[in-house]
Chains A and B, each alone.
Chain A
């Protein structure tokens, strides 16, 4: 199979030891940026932003609920794209990335559901309702858990990754359902607060909007940092028979060339 049409750097990065080293170099910086953005966003959201005229201070849950909900969809899309690459080109790195997306995606989906529940109780008077938005988000959590479960059900890790990637691709139909559920059905869940395609339709004051966007930036940075760390671990255990991993674990790099630090 020829992959010569890929740019050189992609080819270089696709090799597990190279990616391992690259990820190790970038991960702390991404995490530091995520922590700084998170601190600024939380300060803006919890201290600077005024209380909502209808919801009082309860609305402040938005600053973690909405970024987490965006991440639950974004991570799923990332997982599906990596899964597609894994299925079509059988790139080992893509398999690992697709599979390592799932736990963090499940974590953000879980956060979305729990924080939504904690927000719903004082506003709607109920922890849970089988409304289209809530139900489709719960289905998203089950899709993530299904991907994790299917991956772990195979003895052969690479076959497991490809089977789970297929499930991830099928489950992508749920993404537009989650996104448009508040428009397609009459739901208890409130409508879109931030409309990126038509900012004039956004129904949020600038003093509340900027902390929300900074929190969204922080969660994206966090996800990339976390994914790099998870992928490093995934590559190590998948390549445990390879010399570069043995040299790394053993601290005996005498027989390797270009061993990562």
Chain B
């Protein structure tokens, strides 16, 4: 196992290369999920505000 990790003396080149591959792809995979969560939260807030405004307008309408 230790022999395998040593990669014939090239461990300091082989393993960082594989690490970069995985780190960059993990970022690529999760970045849109974060963007999506932010967007969903914003839109949900906007819709809630709209609803409050509509309810208030309806109430004002009803009371006149």
For residue A104, CB closer than 8 A to chain B, the reply is: yes
Distance between Cα atoms of A121 and B33 in the complex (Å):
36
For residue A51, CB closer than 8 A to chain B, the reply is: yes
Question: Considering the complex, which residues of chain A in the window 102-134 have a beta carbon less than 8 Å from any beta carbon of chain B?
Answer: 103-104, 107, 110-111, 114-115, 118-119, 121-122
The answer to whether A111 touches B24 (Cβ under 8 A) is: yes
Q: Which of A162-170, A206-214, A222-230 contacts B (4 or more CB under 8 A)?
A: A222-230
In whole Å, how far is B33's beta carbon from the nearest beta carbon of chain A? 7
Interface band, chain B = 20 to 34
Distance between Cα atoms of A118 and B13 in the complex (Å):
5
The answer to whether B39 touches A107 (Cβ under 8 A) is: no
Question: Considering the complex, which residues of chain B in the window 1-54 have a beta carbon less than 8 Å from any beta carbon of chain A?
Answer: 4, 7-10, 13-14, 16-18, 20-21, 24-25, 27-29, 31-33, 35-36, 39-40, 43-44, 47
B33 / chain A contacts, CB cutoff of 8 Å = 229, 233
The answer to whether B47 touches A246 (Cβ under 8 A) is: yes
Q: Which of A57-65, A148-156, A175-183 contacts B (4 or more CB under 8 A)?
A: A57-65
A115 / chain B contacts, CB cutoff of 8 Å = 17, 20-21
Smallest CB-CB separation from B39: which chain A residue? A237
A233-B39, A240-B39 known; A64 and B32 CB under 8 Å? Answer: no
Distance between Cα atoms of A237 and B14 in the complex (Å):
40
Give the B-binding residues of A (Cβ under 8 A). 46-47, 51, 56-58, 60-61, 64-65, 68, 100, 103-104, 107, 110-111, 114-115, 118-119, 121-122, 222, 226, 229-230, 232-233, 236-237, 240, 245-246, 249-250
> What are 22 A-B residue pairs whose CB atoms fall within 8 Å in the complex?
A57-B8, A57-B14, A58-B7, A58-B14, A64-B18, A107-B25, A111-B21, A111-B25, A114-B17, A118-B13, A118-B20, A121-B13, A226-B29, A229-B29, A229-B33, A232-B36, A237-B39, A240-B39, A245-B43, A249-B40, A249-B43, A250-B47
The answer to whether B17 touches A56 (Cβ under 8 A) is: no
Distance between Cα atoms of A51 and B9 in the complex (Å):
12
The answer to whether B36 touches A233 (Cβ under 8 A) is: yes
Smallest CB-CB separation from A251: which chain B residue? B44
Known: A115-B21, A232-B36, A250-B44. 5 other contacts (CB 8 A): A46-B4, A58-B7, A58-B10, A122-B10, A233-B39
In whole Å, how far is B31's beta carbon from the nearest beta carbon of chain A? 7
Distance between Cα atoms of A229 and B29 in the complex (Å):
8
Select which of A60, A114, A222, A249 is within 8 A of B20 by beta carbon.
A114
In whole Å, how far is B4's beta carbon from the nearest beta carbon of chain A? 7
Distance between Cα atoms of A104 and B32 in the complex (Å):
11
The answer to whether A56 touches B25 (Cβ under 8 A) is: no
Smallest CB-CB separation from A241: which chain B residue? B43
Distance between Cα atoms of A229 and B13 in the complex (Å):
32
In whole Å, how far is A136's beta carbon from the nearest beta carbon of chain B? 20
B9 / chain A contacts, CB cutoff of 8 Å = 56-57
Distance between Cα atoms of A127 and B21 in the complex (Å):
17
